[in-house]
Amino acid sequence: MRIAIVGAGSIGCYVGGKLLAAGGADVIFVGRPRLRDELAAHGLTTRDFDRARTVPAAQLTVVTSAEDPAVAACDVALVCVKSAQTEEVARALARTLRADAIVASLQNGVRNADVLRAALGPRHVLATIVSFNVVSRGEGVFHRAMTGPLILERHADPRARRLVTTLAAAGFPVEERDDLAPDQWTKLVVNLNNAVSALTGAPTRQLLLTPGYRRIIAAVIGEALGVLRAARIEPARLRGIPLAIMPALMRLPTPLVRLVTRAQMRVDPEARSSMWEDLTRGRPTEVDYLNGEIVRLAERAGTAAPLNRRIVSLVHEAEQKGPGSPGLDPRSLWSRLQAP
């Protein structure tokens, strides 16, 4: 297959690098000039828990526009841009891709696939959930720091079927759903902890194993689950566990949390949220499409989400101050979340 990675950041480079290393696809990376120069100097290395594979720079094709002729020839476009850029990229792809191309949204949030569909018309657009975490380590190295599958919206189109086969052959655990919306809401609720990571600078494992951080995550997620109930939205189970019990799990003693986490997934010490990376690099975050989505849903459902609303405000304050995480400790963050 000819696959374009549109918005080649940490997730896009990791997925594209794995596809190239497996030899099952020709991959075009669409990214910023900074990425083009980085990969030209170092090649692209995908690193897992127990192995690393490098694709030499000479085997990489990197362009800086979604309207590049190389993209027009692709069978599939995997959209990996931040949610705020989806509409702009959708318009570019509508002008570029041929009519029978498949487009898959490998993005956070619950609305990106619909935004793509609105711009791309009858072309097949698949919502996709990336359940793992990838950290950019610099010099072309992209490290997967958490286990989890790719979950795709099921579609009968032959190109969609071939995409599933190609991803599986590259070593990705792949699952399919006839209705992906419940899983999208589950992923969004889980991703509410991204802002806690961004505001504190704590890696994922530290968030899970520190009672003060868990208290905050439990409260933020518990509030979100109340909003989903008010809106009559039923989220999917998280790796077999009902999402409703997640706040209670977060309040268990740390040894029990460690056991539950270990049974559910493998978390590398390097795992951090993409929102933390955005803050540290001075880029706009996706907080409006995560915690902000809960705030909007609460307003439509006639209820309130004060903790998530405050999280959104704190992240925007941090964005305005420039590169770097505020580095709040658990007590300070909890205090600021209680402020009017």
Q: Rounded to whole angstroms, how far apart are CA atoms 90 and 101? A: 13
What pTM was estimated for this model as a whole?
0.94
> Is the pLDDT assigned to residue 236 strictly greater than 80?
yes
What does the pLDDT look like over 116-167, one tens digit per residue? 999 998 889 999 999 999 999 999 999 999 889 999 999 999 999 999 999 9
Domains recognised in the chain with CATH numbers: 2-178 (3.40.50.720), 184-338 (1.10.1040.10)
pLDDT digits (tens, 9 = 90+) for 266-284: 787 778 899 999 999 999 9
Q: pLDDT tens for residues 303-333?
A: 999 999 999 999 999 999 999 999 999 999 9
Give the span between the Cα atoms of 206 and 67, in whole angstroms.
Answer: 42
The closest of 92, 163, 167, 88 to 124, measured between CA atoms, is: 163
Helix (H) or strand (E) holding 248: helix 246-250
Q: What is the pLDDT of residues 94-103, one digit of tens each?
A: 999 999 999 9
Residue 80, pLDDT score: 98
Question: What is the distance between the alpha carbons of residues 301 and 299, in angstroms, rounded to a whole number?
Answer: 5
CA dist 2 and 25 (Å) reads 6
Q: Are 169 and 20 in contact (CB under 8 A)?
A: no
Cα–Cα distance, 212 to 206 (Å, whole number): 10
Decide if 82 contacts 284 (C-beta within 8 A). Answer: yes
Residue predicted with more confidence, 246 or 261: 246
